[in-house]
Structure 1
Amino acid sequence: MYDVIVVGARVSGSSVAMLLARKGYRVLAVDRTTFPSDTVSTHYIHQAGLSRLQDWGLLDKVIESGCPPIRHLNFSYTDISLDGFADPIDGIDAVYCPRRTVLDSILVDGAREAGVEVIENFTVDELVISDGVVRGIRGHEGDGPEQEFRSSIVIGADGANSTVANKVGADIYRTSPGGCFIYYSYYSGIDWGMQHRTGFGEQQFASWPTNDGLSLVAVMRKRDRFRDFRADPDGGVQEIVDAVDPKYGEELRDSAVREEPFRPMLYPDNFYRRSFGPGWALVGDAGYHKDPFTGWGITDSFKYAELLSERVHEGLSGSRPMTAALEDYQNTRDEQSAGTYELTTSISDLKLTPYYDSVFRAASKSPEYTKKFFGLIAGGIPGEEFFSPANLADLYAEVNLPHGDRHLTSA
């Protein structure tokens, strides 16, 4: 009998399992894959996410993996350009974009070191449910026989298409359609730093350095162009980079070598899903999923895995009824993530609303607010502060934005 079973052992699952094991609980984590293994990802960890890794004693392992630090960010939205970096957060003055083969292995090893029992290559077939309460899981390791494990709570950390969510019938209560697709791969021969460039014609390319001296290069277009793009992704990548910034297009053509196959990302819709019930909870993309455009997936996984571990501890320790603790987890997650969700869904279709156009255009003309923009991106400045009408009024006055172009609220 376990205290906690976690289904899924990547960034959300290993994190919540490790944190609960460190509190003294008996934890089982299962995953259908083996580690190290790859998964589709932006790789990007904001300073706020790195702060969690630092607190957990794992940031040094990411740095020691050879993943290069990034200390300058380049963002552009058509003719708006924002270049710079945020102030340090908890002493962290860089961001990192590790390969998932590296990051997930560090987290799984951290969970094991904390005392988590990890079973890889394990497929969950059913949840054990009695009197409407989830009591455990049934599944099999590889081609082996069916096994059953029991626990006080089962946590689904198994992604947007979560088996746990499906088995308990967790409903989606807020959704926004996904707008685009992404193709990415890894290239040698280029050193572009961190680029996030959205061009005219609703297309974008991004690049950042990762492990093994490689750069991830990704492109994004609207979903309705996916079928044509996948017929010639090399040509499609070149076309988009050429269109957004010819200088980088020339370097891609003349110097870059694609080292691995492309990874397509045709993301599901953005959503919030009911994330708790009798004997179960959801974390990560299983409960709250958004477009990768703003790169907040990994950081939010760390943030809300930590939050869930604290609430589950309250329930298991008896300091608070489990149902009340889990309800508070969901409500707090929804409140804290609302700004990121709204920003992401508003700009991830590759065109700015008049509101965001006026905000970012004005910020690009002010060194002070450009710095604040990167503080927002890093997780050091809350969205409600950056986008407050009083803050924007000061910004617009500073840069003399015409009154007809001023938008103080998004609605």
Structure 2
Amino acid sequence: MIAGHWSVVVAGGRIAGATAAWALAPYAESVLVVDASQATSFWPQQSTWDREGNLLWQDLGLLEAVLACGAPRTYGHTLRVDDDVAEYEYPQQDGHSYRMTVPREVLDPALLRVAESRGNVTVARPARVTDITSRGGRVRGVTVRQGGADHQVSCDLLVLADGRLSHNADRLGAEPYRVVPSPWVALLAYFADLPLRPDRGYFSSQPGSLAISTPCGPGQWCVSTDMHQRLIDESGGHPARLFARITAEDPHIGPAVKVGRQVSRLGGAGKLRMQRRPMSGPGWCLVGDAGYHLDPVTARGTKSALVAARILRDRIAEIGGIDGTLLDGTLLDGLTEQRDAELEEDWVVAAELCQPAPVAS
């Protein structure tokens, strides 16, 4: 049964939501994850992280789960800038010094399953939070719609992990206080049987575009492009056509995709904007893109989601658990400042890439 009281309600069951549910479960009597997606959903997105991400996964107790997703570890990459090619090896500081890329339709369900393994985490799917109940200036519960019926749920803490366009964050009045529009359109597709090294990535930076191939599973690669909107406008065609042209003309990716097999449809996103919202308020918290969205051109969104989940977990652990004490909203004060300080370097890098710049035709 969904209706009733839960210690924690998490809206969204992807990276940020599943990770938050896992991390908070030891400090809660019960956790309800409300996820709108279908079990067979395909998301044209990937999750990429390096040593910092590996250390965060380990801190959260999820490193074994993400390694089990089967993505190979990469220890270096080839970088082509215009016609200049350079090889890079990653410094081997410790056993976490490698990069991984995992398709989201593989990683996200794996995280949701491991969260459920806690025993006190229940997943309602497909379902969505359609309204938020507040009394006395504090969130007290939500309305959950599942199977055409509405269920009234009360909770001690509401965690929103329902994406950068979170209507529930809008309902809370958690307005963005920093916004950077992005001129980039990101597209990707998955390929099998490419004649490329399974332990090495590839990046090609050309005027107005970035082409990437990364191993992301047994015999599988993600081929992606980031295209500046001005390049798309100058080409006069659909971004999908530009993706095909960029990949076909690349001297590394082109010959590979010509003999390999495309195993997913092409997808992606454009007209995005980076934004920061407040991370917490009386009885609520935002994790993942709902609270802090970085442009995917930098591949740092996974790190920001994990940082927010870890910060929230540590504060709840410091409080001593989730119970009626969270009626005092001040116990969650300071999370926004802590998150922003930890992620400032990532924000600056992404924001610089989103600044208007001339693009050669």
TM-score range, shorter chain: 0.7 to 0.9
Contact 2:132 2:143 in 1 (8 A): yes
Of all paired residues, the percent bearing the same amino acid is: 24
User: What is the CA-CA distance between 1:175 and the residue it aligns to?
Assistant: 1.4
Matched, 1:125 2:125: no
| Structure number with larger C-alpha Rg | 1
CA distance in 2: counterparts of 1:229 and 1:42, whole angstroms = 28
CA distance in 2: counterparts of 1:229 and 1:113, whole angstroms = 50
Name which of 203, 212, 215 aligns with 1:206.
212
Query: Quick one: structure 1 residues 77 and 255, their matched pair in 2 at CA, closer, same or farther if it must change by over 3 Å?
Result: same
Q: Deviations over 1:352-390 (max 9, x none)?
A: 9xxxxxxxxxxxxxxxxxxxxxxxxxxxxxxxxxxxxxx
What are the residue-to-residue correspondences of 1:190-339 with 2, within 5 Å? 190=194, 191-192=196-197, 193-199=200-206, 201-226=207-232, 231=238, 233=240, 235-241=241-247, 245-252=250-257, 254-315=258-319, 316=322, 322-339=328-345
Contact 1:37 1:100 in 2 (8 A): no
Matched, 1:28 2:32: yes
> Could you tell me which amino acid in structure 1 is paired with residue 89 of structure 2?
G
SS at the partner of 1:210? strand
Structure showing greater relative contact order (alpha-carbon pairs closer than 8 Å, 6 or more residues apart): 2
Contact 1:159 1:285 in 2 (8 A): yes
Structure 2: gaps spanning 5 or more residues? none
SS at the partner of 1:43? strand
User: What is the CA-CA distance between 1:232 and the residue it aligns to?
Assistant: 6.9
> Could you tell me which amino acid in structure 1 is paired with residue 205 of structure 2?
T
User: What is the CA-CA distance between 1:208 and the residue it aligns to?
Assistant: 0.4
User: What is the CA-CA distance between 1:77 and the residue it aligns to?
Assistant: 4.3
User: What is the CA-CA distance between 1:70 and the residue it aligns to?
Assistant: 1.1
CA distance in 2: counterparts of 1:350 and 1:189, whole angstroms = 38
Please identify, of 176-185 and 62-71, the stretch whose mean Cα deviation from structure 2 is larger: 62-71
SS at the partner of 1:311? helix
User: What is the CA-CA distance between 1:110 and the residue it aligns to?
Assistant: 1.6
Count of matched residue pairs:
346
Contact 1:36 1:104 in 2 (8 A): no
Name the one with the larger strand percent. 2
Contact 1:183 1:218 in 2 (8 A): yes
Provide the residue aligned with 1:396 in structure 2: none
SS at the partner of 2:102? coil
User: What is the CA-CA distance between 1:284 and the residue it aligns to?
Assistant: 0.8
Provide the residue aligned with 1:68 in structure 2: 72
CA distance in 2: counterparts of 1:350 and 1:258, whole angstroms = 33
Provide the residue aligned with 2:140 in structure 1: 135
User: What is the CA-CA distance between 1:242 and the residue it aligns to?
Assistant: 5.2
Contact 2:213 2:253 in 1 (8 A): no
> Could you tell me which amino acid in structure 1 is paired with residue 254 of structure 2?
G
User: What is the CA-CA distance between 1:161 and the residue it aligns to?
Assistant: 0.5
Query: Quick one: structure 1 residues 221 and 177, their matched pair in 2 at CA, closer, same or farther if it must change by over 3 Å?
Result: same
Please identify, of 282-291 and 44-53, the stretch whose mean Cα deviation from structure 2 is larger: 44-53
Matched, 1:96 2:100: yes
CA distance in 2: counterparts of 1:124 and 1:320, whole angstroms = 21
User: What is the CA-CA distance between 1:167 and the residue it aligns to?
Assistant: 0.9
User: What is the CA-CA distance between 1:67 and the residue it aligns to?
Assistant: 1.7
Query: Quick one: structure 1 residues 36 and 14, their matched pair in 2 at CA, closer, same or farther if it must change by over 3 Å?
Result: farther
CA distance in 1: counterparts of 2:183 and 2:211, whole angstroms = 15
Contact 2:11 2:128 in 1 (8 A): no
User: What is the CA-CA distance between 1:348 and the residue it aligns to?
Assistant: 4.8
Q: Deviations over 1:24-49 (max 9, x none)?
A: 44211111113353324232122222
Name which of 80, 85, 88 aligns with 2:90.
85
User: What is the CA-CA distance between 1:122 and the residue it aligns to?
Assistant: 0.6
Structure 1: gaps spanning 5 or more residues? 353-411
User: What is the CA-CA distance between 1:81 and the residue it aligns to?
Assistant: 4.2
Name the one with the larger helix percent. 1
Contact 1:73 1:195 in 2 (8 A): yes
CA distance in 1: counterparts of 2:273 and 2:48, whole angstroms = 21
Provide the residue aligned with 1:45 in structure 2: 49
SS at the partner of 1:65? coil
> Could you tell me which amino acid in structure 2 is paired with residue 329 of structure 1?
L
> What do you get for the CA RMSD once the two structures are aligned?
2.6
Contact 1:123 1:142 in 2 (8 A): no
> Could you tell me which amino acid in structure 2 is paired with residue 347 of structure 1?
L
